[in-house]
Amino acid sequence: METDISSSWDIDDEYEKFIRRMNPPRVVIDNEACVNATVIRVDSANKHGILLEVVQVLTDLNLIITKAYISSDGGWFMDVFNVTDRDGKKLRDEEILEYIRKSLGPDSCFIPSRKRSVGVSPSTDYTSIELTGTDRPGLLSEVSAVLMDLKCNVVNAEVWTHNTRAAAVMHVTDESSGLAITDPERLSRIKNLLCNVLRGNNKTRGAKTAVSLGSTHTERRLHQMMFDDRDYERSDQDLADEKLRPKVTVVNIYDKDYSVVTIRCKDRPKLLFDTVCTLTDMQYVVFHANVDAESPEAYQEYYIRHVDGSPVNSEAERQRIIQCLEAAIERRVSEGLKLELCTSDRVGLLSDVTRIFRENSLSVTRAEVTTRAGKAVNTFYVQDAAGNMVDAKTIDAIRQVIGQTILQVKGGSELSRSPQESPTRFLFGGLFKSKSLCNFSLVRPYS
């Protein structure tokens, strides 16, 4: 059966390559058509998932999509995006413009495939670890401590929490060699120990770990992991907070055989990627769409059908789409105080930092860990253990412990004292023996 499926995928890939050669995609980038944005138009042969591929390229460049118009009825895909950089300016960097042309145009180096839908490819640089389980205060600290004990160095990681669930994608290397970990027995031990940590004392919801020598699109993979973990299922208590959730509606247009999904919520970076990713992974095709994010509130409208060609045909299916889109929007909404840490990288750094957070009763709601040219650039969103805003005394206590590291505190108004009294930068002294520190003016926020 597996051989038959693989053969079918290969046939589909060859057909897609043929269609692509006969109808190469065309990318037009125009800085004159709009006063306040760069207009990017993509015309291409249509196929399932193409909208996500285009949005993913733009999102990975940290571009802001202010408007989008999508039409993909029949065999052709036409899409127009109005985009800016993070500062709200038009795109002028020719290197960025050329990257967009190559990534989306006829010279693009990838031919999408369902079996590579999350970008899986061999990697000798690191080992990828995927984790899902029940969230609890101190979980990231416990996971980091286990990895350090197992002689694993965390070089990159992203952690999301939502609706009592937690998911993480972590890239680790061997502490001594700096290379990917390949020994099967060691990988099995890592997997089993991390699964025990994730499981904890919780017997009602499962915990999962996966270890591979591969590279994935981390954010898409996190959406898939949390979707598989059913983080969209809400308790009765969560249902009481309905007014706080994004406004998602699903209605059918019977004479056109479409279902229309509309979304209204507070705008934020990567919102379009999150919703398109979820619709695609739920096996829905977007035929037409209109996106407007020029005001603080974002508006998205999608005309969809299931891949089998049918619109939404039951109330249960309608509710599931609403719940899954709400979850997709909320996963990246970062609750808590934002802390940015930058220092020389070393083995065990993540374990030490998260241990200090845990000892000061902080809970990490989301984290991004990266290593760049020997520097660790980490972003944490933290609350107290009860889920409330962080008290300023807690930050002061951390200042006394962490040491010669620069920690920039974002969102100072969220500290439990007046904004005027909240410092925006602390210079800590004592714990880390870093030879050099990184100026935080170079650290760009990725939300």
Is residue 136 very low, low, confident or very high in pLDDT (cuts 50, 70, 90)?
A: very high
DSSP per residue, 157-168: EEEEEETTEEEE
Is residue 158 very low, low, confident or very high in pLDDT (cuts 50, 70, 90)?
A: very high
Q: Which amino acid is at 273?
A: F
Q: Which two tokens stand for residue 179?
A: 């290379």
pLDDT given for residue 110 in this prediction: 45
Residue 275, burial from CB neighbour count under 10 angstroms (0-12, 13-18, 19+): buried
> 37 pLDDT exceeds 60?
yes
Query: What is the arithmetic mean of pLDDT over 87-106?
Result: 94
Q: How remote is the C-alpha of 383 from its chain's centroid?
A: 20
Query: What is the arithmetic mean of pLDDT over 127-154?
Result: 95
Task: Identify each DSSP E strand in 34-181 by its residue range.
Answer: 38-45, 64-71, 76-84, 121-122, 127-134, 152-162, 165-174
> 285 pLDDT exceeds 70?
yes
**pTM of the complete model beyond 0.85:** no
Of the two residues 307 and 13, the one the predictor is more confident about is 307
Query: What is the arithmetic mean of pLDDT over 133-148?
Result: 95
Please state, in angstroms and rounded to a whole number, the distance separating the CA atoms of residues 51 and 81.
Answer: 11
Is residue 234 very low, low, confident or very high in pLDDT (cuts 50, 70, 90)?
A: confident
Of the two residues 423 and 404, the one the predictor is more confident about is 404
Query: What is the arithmetic mean of pLDDT over 217-242?
Result: 84
pLDDT given for residue 372 in this prediction: 87
Token pair 């009763």 in the structure block, residue: 361
DSSP three-state, residue 394:
helix
Among 41, 36, 49, 53, smallest CA distance to 81 is for 41
Contact 412, 423 (CB under 8 A): yes
Query: What is the arithmetic mean of pLDDT over 292-305?
Result: 95
Of the two residues 228 and 216, the one the predictor is more confident about is 228
Which residues lie across from 283 on neighbouring strands? none
Lowest mean pLDDT among 311-325, 349-363, 369-383, 426-440: 426-440
pLDDT given for residue 25 in this prediction: 86
Lowest mean pLDDT among 19-33, 218-232, 309-323: 19-33
Please list, in sequence order, all residues whose beta carbon lies within 8 angstroms of the beta carbon of residue 274, skipping any fewer than 6 positions away: 223, 328, 329, 331, 332
Give the range with max mean pLDDT: 6-15, 60-69, 201-210, 429-438.
60-69
Which residues lie across from 212 on neighbouring strands? 128
Query: What is the arithmetic mean of pLDDT over 277-302?
Result: 95
Token pair 């984290």 in the structure block, residue: 367
Strands lying side by side in the sheet with 425-428: 208-212, 127-134, 165-174, 152-162, 362-372, 375-384, 337-344, 405-410, 425-428
Token pair 């930058």 in the structure block, residue: 342
Q: How remote is the C-alpha of 105 from its chain's centroid?
A: 25
**In the chain, pLDDT over 90 holds for what percent of residues?**
60
pLDDT given for residue 9 in this prediction: 45
Q: Give the up-direction half-sphere exposure of residue 202: CA atoms within 13 A in the CB hemisphere.
A: 19
CA quadruple 77, 283, 278, 313: dihedral positive or negative?
positive
> 414 pLDDT exceeds 70?
no
Could you tell me the CA-to-CA distances from 16 to 50, 152, 280 in Å, in that order? 12, 40, 18
Query: What is the arithmetic mean of pLDDT over 402-428?
Result: 48
Is residue 411 very low, low, confident or very high in pLDDT (cuts 50, 70, 90)?
A: low
Residue 54, burial from CB neighbour count under 10 angstroms (0-12, 13-18, 19+): buried
Q: Which two tokens stand for residue 375?
A: 């520097």
pLDDT given for residue 435 in this prediction: 33
Query: What is the arithmetic mean of pLDDT over 37-65?
Result: 93
Lowest mean pLDDT among 17-26, 142-151, 182-191, 342-351: 17-26
Give the range with max mean pLDDT: 38-47, 231-240, 384-393.
38-47
DSSP per residue, 217-286: -HHHHHHHHHHHTTTT---HHHHTTGGGS-EEEEEEETTTTEEEEEEEEE--TTHHHHHHHHHHHTTEEE
pLDDT given for residue 431 in this prediction: 38
DSSP three-state, residue 367:
strand
Of the two residues 332 and 238, the one the predictor is more confident about is 332
Lowest mean pLDDT among 178-187, 239-248, 422-431: 422-431
**In the chain, pLDDT over 70 holds for what percent of residues?**
78
The rounded mean pLDDT for the chain is: 82
Largest CA distance in the chain: 70
